[in-house]
Structure 1
Amino acid sequence: MSKIALITGATAGIGEACAHVFAREGYNLVLTGRRLERLEKLAKHLNDKYNVEVAISSFDVRNREDTISNLEALPEKWKKVTVLVNNAGLSQGLDPIQKGNIDDWETMIDTNIKGLLYVSRVVSNWMIANGKGHIINLGSIAGKEVYANGNVYCATKHAVDALNKGMRIDLLPHGIKVTAIHPGAVETEFSEVRFKGDKERAKKVYEGFEPLAAVDVAETIWFIASRPAHVNINDMLIMPTAQANAGTIFRG
């Protein structure tokens, strides 16, 4: 297998869109996520449509032991990962700091920071052994700016931004590329998860303007991954045309 992409959080949104785009481009895939049934359905679809090989592994990146053991249990041929898309992440709640739900804080910290670290710790060593690789970390406009009631979520994405820079330095001697992509408003399950399944409240987030779609971000990730060997895009901010920054959206 000459090209393998490992995508976390592949059961929906940007992760699922990345799976489609990389399969289209001839990559074999390792797809991870919490929802096994969705992974199985997606793997079959991609195999049928693009004739690529797909391995799936269902676990929650918040669980260190499960993450490490499931990744290490993959057959050796699947450890020749050339691109890692650290997509698994979420937001919970939208409350001022003094009213924040501590369980929500723990979930965001464990998923967005610690989960990314657990996966990167394993896969970066595979890449070092293989002599090549590219790690693409999903950040957010929330990793560049802080907005009202975003507090802990913004903090976790600022951490991703810092970790991305640290990885870039640490993995430089090994020839491994590292990139962060920071999207603005993307209409996926993101807001629905943030608002604990409140579909009406989630829908209102995107009213009056055209947000990014998951495929917009996935195509940009593919552009990043497809640059020549001597080119690395360290950092990229991608926004809907209607959004200038985290808190300024023109709703026509």
Structure 2
Amino acid sequence: MQPTVFITGATAGFGEACARRFAQAGWSMVLTGRREERLLRLADELSGQAEVLPLVLDVRDRASMQAAISQLPEGFDRLRGLINNAGLALGTEAAQACSLDDWDTMVDTNIKGLLYSTRLLLPRLIAHGRGASIVNLGSIAGNWPYPGSHVYGATKAFVRQFSLNLRCDLQGTGVRVTNLEPGLCESEFSLVRFAGDTHKYEAVYANAQPLQPGDIAETIFWLMNQPAHININSLEVMPVTQAWSNFQIERGR
């Protein structure tokens, strides 16, 4: 029987790239996403390589998540992997000028959505035991502050700490947990953050040689295929062209 992985946010970016990478290796997959047309098209495309179950749902909807997971059909109900990928950043304004609606959406998706999928799927991962893996998509923003990161960075700091705490609770089960923290990566993520402004999107990546979603998918595949006695607690991945900047200093007062 092929191993099964559950991937949230599979309709674009890291999630879509992971679906393609795991399908290439023949894993069975449960793919979730809000955009039905995209999700079904991806599932149809990959169905020639692997068994695929598409679930059209929003990770923020606890009731829908519970219903869908409780009804996973045989063949998809015993998981070896969970990739908590669904997440987003909205806006770049300073905290004093940002939208509270954006804050709500980021908290509901990046924190609560991740919590729902994790808690609801943990019994299935524990049933698999040794070799089962959870990969949570964090961000370098959870470690390093920058202007406009306020709630987004805070949600990713939550992901980091939650991942570490999970490791403690899962001691003895054989289930592994990794917080993967990408840096600059060219994907739809920034287009969403800039509300579809393609000029801002292109400016972020211009001449920067950023990471690509396929790079992150390959990293996740590697993480999940380490020997069962190895746990990579956290992994920060940046393009060579990206580094840390100096502390800001306000002058003139």
**Shorter-chain TM-score: what band?**
over 0.9
> Secondary structure in 2 aligned to 1:79?
coil
Q: How far, CA to CA, are the matches of 1:137 and 1:56 in structure 2?
A: 20
Q: Tell me the TM-score normalized by structure 1.
A: 0.94
| Alignment-mate amino acid for residue 157 of structure 2 | H
SS of residue matched to 1:124:
helix
Which residue in the other structure is 2:160 paired with?
161
Post-superposition shift, 1:70?
Answer: 1.5
How far the C-alpha of 1:33 sits from its partner, in A, is 0.5
Q: Check the 8 A contact 1:142/1:246 in 2, yes or no.
A: no
SS at match of 2:20: helix
Displacement of 1:247 after TM fit?
A: 8.1
1:198 alignment counterpart:
197
Secondary structure (helix, strand or coil) at the match of 1:31 reads: strand
Unaligned runs of 5+ in 2: 248-253
2:63 is aligned with 1:65? yes
- How many residue pairs are counted as aligned between the two chains? 246
2:125 is aligned, of 107, 110, 127, to 127
Deviation, structure 1 residue 146? 1.0
Q: TM-score, normalised by structure 2?
A: 0.94
CA distance in 2, matches of 1:6, 1:206: 30
Shift of 1:246: 7.3
CA contact (8 A) 2:81 2:125 kept: no
In 2, Cα distance between the equivalents of 1:247 and 1:69? 48
- Counterpart of 2:250? none
Conserved 8 A contact 1:89-1:112 = yes
Equivalent-residue separation in structure 2 for 1:111 and 1:23 (angstroms): 26
CA contact under 8 A between 1:92 and 1:193: conserved in structure 2? yes
Match of 1:184 in 2: 183
Instruction: Tell me the secondary structure at the aligned position of residue 114 of structure 1.
Output: helix
Task: For 1:187 and 1:26, locate their aligned partners in 2 and report how far apart those are by CA, in whole Å.
Answer: 26
Match of 2:37 in 1: 37
Shift of 1:154: 0.4
In structure 2, relative to structure 1, the CA distance for the partners of 1:247 and 1:37 (3 Å cut) is farther
Q: Residues of 2 paired with 1:193 and 1:247: CA distance?
A: 28
Provide the residue aligned with 1:138 in structure 2. 137
Instruction: State the SS of the aligned residue for 1:205.
Output: helix
1:76 CA displacement: 3.5
Counterparts of 1:82-97 in structure 2, within 5 Å, are 82-97=80-95
Contact 2:142 2:154 in 1 (8 A): yes
Q: SS in structure 2 opposite 1:146?
A: coil
| CA deviation vs aligned residue, 1:7-29 (integer Å, no higher than 9, x gap) | 10000011000011111112011
Q: How does 1:1-252 map to 2 (within 5 A)?
A: 1-48=1-48, 50=49, 52-132=50-130, 133-245=132-244
CA distance in 2, matches of 1:86, 1:212: 19
* Gapped regions of structure 1 (runs ≥ 5): none
> 1:213-233: CA deviations, max 9, x gaps?
000111011111110111111
Aligned residue identity for 2:240: T
- Look up the equivalent residue of 1:10 and give its one-letter code: A
Distance in 2 separating the partners of 1:189 and 1:83: 24
Distance 1:81 1:53 in 2: 13
SS in 2 for 1:173: coil
Q: CA RMSD in A?
A: 1.4
Q: CA deviation at 1:104?
A: 0.2
Alpha-carbon distance in structure 1 between the residues aligned to 2:63 and 2:145: 32
- The offset of 1:245, in angstroms, is 3.1
Identity in percent: 46
